[in-house]
């Protein structure tokens, strides 16, 4: 078996996430209780309100704390991956799993990142939408045509037939209408609060570059595949530069999943709320077994399966 951990991104969060894990497992409880944030993280995860949980400034530390807690539980059970990757903010969880950051540093960094991303477009109406059933080149042409209404770019290449567009709200709406006219099957607005992974996030990239100068980056104990590459990093790449680039450029998750398949990965544990990434894996590479882990029941099932019990 060759195992990868895949970490969920923004949009997967929901009120109630992690409650059962918190009640049962001390290692999970310790991560949430020690999160270095200025709000009640576990109360927001468990009880909401939903609109606050969906605000990127709060979503990001909540999601990374959840992921770090689950990673700790899998490690307690003797399960570690051969590779790690994550969708958008999930990349920070992958790096935490790989030993580049401890849990507190990862949570603190994404809290800073979330605030920087919110500040970058303060007061600017923005949005994201998933476009189903169009290829990359056709959708890029649609975005170029809609750009007279504002910034709109292809930002997440999730799996065959699903690409996310992001940018100014009016331009995203126009691109969505043009995409449907050009043959897209569906256009679905996403539950996020900013034009993530677009050029509008350049100020957040600048803020992260400055922040990273005071952060200690450990060496990777597990190879991580990076969003902006869709692959492992090259010798000339540095993690701070890749994270700075990531916040303001496209996420190549489909390419990442294909690369995992080429590297021999046959089993994936999806860590985070929901099963979105497992769906992407199944649509991209046939035959990879997926074990989503959000609840205590799913955790125990995944551990038993991975141990061959």
Catalytic residues: 88, 197
> Coil, helix or strand for 132?
strand
* Structural element, H or E, at residue 3: strand 3-7
Give the number of other CB atoms < 10 A from CB of residue 83. 23
Helices (H), 48-151: 50-53, 56-76, 90-97, 103-120, 136-146
CA separation for the pair 36, 14 (Å, rounded): 21
Residue 49 DSSP label = -
CA distances from 173 to 142, 143, 146, 151, 293 (A): 11, 10, 9, 11, 34
Q: Radius of gyration over alpha carbons of the chain, in Å? A: 18
């Amino acid at each position: 078996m060759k195992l990868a951990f895949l970490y969920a991104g923004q949009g997967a969060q929901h009120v109630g996430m992690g409650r059962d894990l918190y009640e049962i497992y001390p290692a999970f409880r310790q991560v949430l209780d020690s999160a270095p944030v200025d709000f009640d993280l576990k109360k927001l995860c468990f009880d909401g309100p939903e609109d606050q949980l969906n605000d990127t400034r709060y979503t990001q530390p909540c999601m990374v704390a959840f992921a770090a807690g689950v990673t700790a539980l899998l490690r307690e059970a003797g399960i570690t991956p051969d590779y790690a990757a994550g969708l958008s903010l999930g990349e920070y969880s992958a790096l935490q799993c790989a030993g580049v950051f401890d849990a507190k540093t990862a949570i603190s960094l994404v809290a800073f990142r979330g605030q920087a991303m919110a500040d970058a477009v303060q007061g600017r109406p923005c949005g994201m939408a998933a476009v189903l059933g169009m290829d990359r080149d056709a959708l890029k042409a649609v975005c170029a045509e809609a750009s007279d209404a504002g910034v709109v770019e292809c930002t997440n290449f999730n799996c065959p037939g699903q690409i996310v567009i992001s940018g100014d709200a009016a331009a995203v709406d126009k691109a969505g209408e043009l995409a449907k006219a050009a043959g897209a099957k569906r256009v679905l607005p996403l539950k996020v609060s900013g034009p993530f992974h677009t050029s509008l996030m350049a100020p957040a990239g600048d803020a992260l570059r400055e922040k990273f100068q005071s952060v200690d980056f450990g060496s990777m104990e597990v190879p991580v595949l990076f969003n902006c590459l869709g692959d492992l990093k090259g010798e000339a790449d540095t993690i701070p530069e890749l994270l700075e680039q990531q916040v303001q450029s496209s996420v190549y998750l489909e390419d990442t999943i294909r690369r995992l398949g080429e590297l021999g990965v046959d089993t994936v544990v999806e860590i985070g709320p929901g099963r979105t990434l497992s769906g992407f894996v199944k649509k991209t590479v046939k035959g990879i077994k997926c074990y989503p882990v959000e609840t205590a029941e799913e955790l125990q099932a995944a551990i038993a399966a991975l141990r061959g019990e």
